[in-house]
Structure 1
Amino acid sequence: MQVDFLRPGGFGSALGNDVTHLQRAVGPCQDVLAAAREAGLVVIHTREGHAAPLLDLHPFKRVRPGQDETTAAIGRPGPCGRILVRGEPGHDIISELYPQTGEAIIDKPGKGCFYATDLECILRAQNISTLLVCGVTTEVCVHTTVREANDRGYHCVVIGNACASYHPQFHQTSLEMIVAQGGIFGSVAESNVVVQALRQYTATTVVPNKKRKILHPPTSSDADGVAHRVSITKADEV
């Protein structure tokens, strides 16, 4: 959840979007993040952006077809610094969800969290098979990441109200697509269900130093399931 997407003056608002639509997901993200930390889950933050020379930025992403290059092209200066450039204020994660010491931060050049990153190396090394996914926007970065994860054999639980879109109808349709046909891409659950499951687990399980724990991941209707190692992953893109 980056400044460029959620704050006035960032990339999202430069594209003409109402950033308040995304801000609604911050509270649920905070709740899930706090519960995940207490349960000792592996927390992975992601940031979408490009190195300052922009050599990893292909031309059709820098200026989208039909986009005005003078307003919102990636790399142009703005109130939050150069748009989607690593190291600029707008590229950073918002203060409400800022990473704690020891939590992984994945810097990605694409919409999905697996492309050109070491995310899968981390997940394999930690023996993680289920992901709790939250972030923005639902139809772009979240969906791309979930599809990438599904193709790699991971089970994704998308936390519906901890995701958001500048276009509410896209958000709803994206969630419906995930669970269509028996869960073609994964599961969807609301933050209160996930938090309840995490708290129940934390209350009944003792692990030294709060290392990774085994969790029964929630489905769209309850908190039952097969035990997996779980990671909470946040995906950001517009």
Structure 2
Amino acid sequence: MTAFSRVPAQPGDFIFDPNRVALLIIDMQRDFLYPGGFGESLGNDVALLRTVIEPLAGLLATARAAGIPVIHTREGHRPDLSDCPPAKLLRGDPAQRIGDPGRFGRILIRGEYGHDIIDELAPVDGEMVIDKPGKGAFYATELADALADRGIRSLLVTGVTTEVCVHTTVREANDRGFECLVVSDCVGSYFPEFQRVGLAMIAAQGGIFGWVADSAAVRAALTSAVSPSPAQ
């Protein structure tokens, strides 16, 4: 019989099977988090996103030690922009659009330095990296099949930004029957009010999209799930 694990969360305890849970790390990329990158070029304070790095690094270490599958995503496009619709390409500052030169290479283009994941959270061998052309991690990617192949039913969701790619992915996951716990100090926004409201929306109305808890609670549950039982 499977021993389920429990995380104290909002709006109630998040209960999961340690054998069917994965850590999903969304878009922790240099273009979004590094000073001088695309995010900062749009007038954003990247320090607000960088507060996520330390707690997420701790959670990542705990997940790896517990043998929990880790999946990273990167938002970006093919060099010829054939997978970037005009409705996305033409938004924003005309001088700083997807594919244009940036400090860390062409903005949000696969293979460029800025497109890759920050050094502090770099994937290790065996961890999946999903390249996605949209905000959500399920759209036009292999994520759904990868989770099904591994028997995953629950997701620990982290990354940036809370109100855009994190929210979109959680909504996509919810419609596909996955149970999502958003780790509050491991997701971030350039806008503090969006961060607050974005988290509140997840757990509203009895958990309309999922659950919310901090990384300390999640790490304790993961550690407990793999710790040997005390001698009787």
Same fold (TM over 0.5): yes
CA distance in 2, matches of 1:50, 1:10: 17
- Give the alignment partner of residue 57 of structure 1, picking from 77, 80, 84: 84
Structure 1 residue 131 displacement after superposition: 0.2
Of the candidates 68, 86, 103, which is equivalent to residue 41 of structure 1?
68
- Report deviation, 1:136: 0.3
**Cα RMSD after superposing both structures:** 0.8
The residue aligned with 2:174 is: 150
2:80 & 2:194 partners in 1: Cα distance? 33
Equivalent in the alignment of 1:29: 56
C-alpha displacement of 1:68: 2.5
Q: 2:45, 2:90 → 1: CA distance?
A: 20
Q: CA deviation at 1:14?
A: 1.3
Mapped partners of 1:191, 1:63: distance in 2: 37
Which residue does the alignment assign to 2:123?
99
How far apart in 1 are the matches of 2:195 and 2:99? 27
- What is aligned with 2:7? none
Unmatched 5+ stretches in structure 1:
206-238
Query: How many angstroms apart in 1 are the aligned matches of 2:228 and 2:201?
Result: 34
Structure 2 match to 1:231: none
Q: Deviation per CA, 1:1-30, whole angstroms, max 9, x where unpaired?
A: 000000012110111100000000011110
Aligned length: 202
- Which of 102, 105, 110 is matched with 1:86 structurally? 110
Q: What is the distance in 1 between the residues matched to 2:182 and 2:109? A: 27
Q: Please name the residue that 1:113 is paired with.
A: 137
Which amino acid is 2:142 matched to? D
Question: Which has the larger displacement, 95-104 or 54-63?
Answer: 54-63
Match of 1:229?
none
How many angstroms apart in 1 are the aligned matches of 2:37 and 2:79?
Answer: 17
Aligned-residue sequence identity (percent) comes to 57
Counterpart of 1:43, as a letter, is: V
Aligned positions of 1:1-238 closer than 5 A? 1-64=28-91, 67-70=92-95, 72-204=96-228
Unaligned runs of 5+ in 2: 1-27
Instruction: Give the superposition deviation at 1:203.
Output: 1.4
State the distance in 1 between where 2:124 and 2:195 align: 29
- Give the structure-2-normalised TM-score: 0.86
The aligned residue for residue 6 of structure 2 is: none
Preserved contact between residue 42 and residue 93 of structure 2 (Cα < 8 Å): no
Distance 1:202 1:153 in 2: 26
Paired AA for residue 98 in structure 1: A
